[in-house]
């Protein structure tokens, strides 16, 4: 007999698969839940492992099938394929070419290439399906609930889940390591905050607040310096870029959140974070020194192979340039992109990042003409802090092949699309007929201009 939790999860999964045939957004939500929870890594998920099912593949398959059979339920957008999507396709094309021109297309390269094209494909689906106000709220709430689950797992983690005082093996496979979990959760925190600010009912605010508190606690338990730097930079941007209409309220929440986080820390946490400002310790710290050595070696690799060594080949090649770091990761998302996909891949990747920042800026400027201007501004604000936090954190840990990193990258495109669609819908309201208005007909005699 299966455990009750296993039965509930299995049943909910198939219900979501069926619902995705009526509306593909539920298939996308199903996939994101599977990605964040990873039931196969839990004790109650062992019966599911025995089934041999690939839950993420099934969820993605039903999502794409739903996009065909229920295409009328997909958000209406003006351009089904824009410059951001072309950038993603260009990055995929570069990776595909590098499987032929790179050094070797072995098991590691094959695994990473398959992962890359899958995550890029899902990012394109996310950018398309989340392009309505209702759908983007569902996506954000999925991230809130997923972070709540990960935070609860961290809160209840046994002592065996800690390695050298740092939390390991929580969340999905993309962020089961301490650095990966901290990077993922740090990026989720601003999105949770945006949901908290835009939610009107207090009972749902409590859910978002609890998710945020458990997320902060889990980040602290990871004791990751790159995530700490990302959060510090994100907090500074949050203070400076807060929407004017809610600036003081947001500042109060930020201060309250910082004080709450401080109360959850311990001496071990601050001792590790203190090494960031101790030049003597940083000069001898094994993790810091090894990163510097790896990045220097990466520059030599890039000089020898400016067109890239091929997806997934860095761990195999780094030992030839610095034998001390054989099979080590780059610990830097930008570095791994430039080295494995070449200068052209790195340029495209950075263009996508700055393009997402530009889309957030456009959403902020266009927000006054949308259905809910303040909510649009706050969502754009949350995405800005999330994107900056994740990117800065990713400079100290390898997140290039992590799906949630690309979710954060493409969410601004979804928000921009819904912003443009809502403004266009207001513009297309027909002008009132000249002459006297019949009694009890019409509620307004003017159309909101596009440029307001």
Same domain, 86 and 64: no
Of the pLDDT bands very low, low, confident and very high (cuts 50, 70, 90), residue 80 is: low
Whether residue 166 is predicted with pLDDT greater than 90 in this model: the reply is no
Task: Read off the pLDDT of residues 177-189 as tens digits, 9 standing for 90 and up.
Answer: 888 899 999 999 9
Same domain, 326 and 372: yes
Same domain, 299 and 346: yes
Higher pLDDT, 28 or 430: 28
Whether residue 430 is predicted with pLDDT greater than 60 in this model: the reply is no
Residue 438 within any structural domain of the chain: no
User: For residue 187, which of 416, 361, 383 has the smallest C-alpha distance?
Assistant: 383
Same domain, 204 and 100: yes
Residues of the chain with pLDDT > 90, as a percent, come to: 55
Place of tokens 């307004």: 444
Domain count, the chain: 2
Same domain, 23 and 99: no
Residue 442 within any structural domain of the chain: no
For 334-357, what is the mean pLDDT?
95
Give the pLDDT score at 381: 96
Residue 343 within any structural domain of the chain: yes
Domain of residue 153, residue span: 82-423
For 94-110, what is the mean pLDDT?
88
Same domain, 20 and 161: no
Residue 336 within any structural domain of the chain: yes
Of the pLDDT bands very low, low, confident and very high (cuts 50, 70, 90), residue 449 is: very low
Contacts of 83 (CB under 8 A, 6+ apart): 355
Which of 71, 101, 121 delimits the end of a domain? 71
Same domain, 154 and 34: no
Residue 452 within any structural domain of the chain: no
Low-confidence winner among 151-155, 253-257, 319-323, 376-380 (lowest mean pLDDT): 319-323
Residues 159 and 157: their CA atoms lie apart, in Å, by 7
Same domain, 64 and 133: no
Same domain, 101 and 48: no
Same domain, 331 and 263: yes
Identify whether the C-beta of residue 99 lies closer than 8 Å to the C-beta of residue 109: yes
For CA atoms 300, 306, 309, 314, the dihedral sign is positive
Q: What is the mean pLDDT of the chain?
A: 87
Same domain, 18 and 140: no
Residue 434 within any structural domain of the chain: no
Give the pLDDT score at 241: 92
Same domain, 67 and 87: no
For 51-55, what is the mean pLDDT?
83
pTM, to two decimals: 0.89
């Amino acid at each position: 007999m299966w455990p009750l939790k296993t039965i509930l999860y299995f049943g909910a999964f198939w219900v979501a698969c069926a619902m995705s045939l009526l509306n593909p957004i539920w298939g996308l939500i199903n996939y994101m839940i599977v990605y964040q929870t990873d039931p196969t890594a839990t004790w109650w998920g062992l019966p599911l492992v025995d089934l041999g099912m690939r839950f993420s593949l099934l969820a993605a398959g039903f999502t794409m099938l739903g996009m065909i059979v229920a295409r009328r339920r997909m958000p209406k957008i003006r351009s089904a394929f824009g410059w951001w999507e072309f950038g993603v396709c260009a990055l995929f094309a570069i990776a595909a070419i590098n499987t032929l021109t790179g050094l070797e297309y072995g098991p590691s390269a094959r695994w990473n290439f398959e992962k890359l094209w899958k995550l890029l494909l899902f990012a394109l689906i996310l950018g398309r399906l989340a392009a309505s106000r209702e759908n983007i709220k569902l996506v954000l709430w999925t991230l809130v609930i997923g972070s709540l689950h990960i935070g609860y797992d961290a809160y209840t983690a046994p002592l065996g889940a800690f390695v050298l005082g740092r939390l390991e093996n929580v969340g999905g496979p993309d962020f089961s390591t301490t650095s990966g979990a901290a990077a993922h959760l740090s990026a989720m925190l601003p999105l949770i905050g945006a949901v908290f600010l835009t939610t009107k009912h207090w009972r749902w605010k409590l859910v978002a607040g609890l998710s945020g508190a458990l997320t902060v606690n889990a980040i602290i338990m990871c004791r990751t310096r790159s995530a700490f730097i990302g959060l510090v930079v994100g907090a500074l941007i949050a203070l400076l870029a807060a929407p004017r209409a809610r600036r003081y309220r947001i500042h109060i929440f930020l201060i309250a959140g910082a004080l709450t986080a401080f109360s959850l820390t311990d001496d071990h946490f601050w001792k590790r974070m203190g090494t960031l400002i101790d030049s003597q310790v940083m000069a001898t710290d094994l993790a810091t020194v090894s990163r510097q050595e790896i990045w220097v070696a990466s520059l030599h690799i890039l000089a020898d192979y400016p067109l890239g060594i091929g997806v997934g080949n860095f761990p195999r090649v780094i030992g030839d340039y610095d034998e001390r770091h054989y099979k080590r990761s780059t610990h830097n998302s930008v570095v791994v992109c430039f080295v494995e996909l070449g200068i052209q891949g790195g340029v495209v990747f950075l263009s996508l990042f700055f393009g997402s920042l530009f889309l957030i800026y456009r959403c902020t400027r266009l927000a006054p003409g949308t259905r809910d201007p303040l909510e649009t501004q706050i969502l754009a604000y949350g995405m800005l802090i999330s994107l900056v936090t994740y990117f800065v954190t990713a400079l100290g840990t390898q997140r290039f092949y992590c799906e949630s990193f690309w979710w954060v990258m493409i969410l601004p495109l979804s928000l921009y699309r819904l912003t443009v669609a809502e403004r266009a819908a207001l513009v297309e309201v027909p002008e009132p007929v000249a002459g006297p208005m019949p009694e009890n007909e019409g509620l307004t005699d003017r159309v909101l201009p596009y440029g307001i």
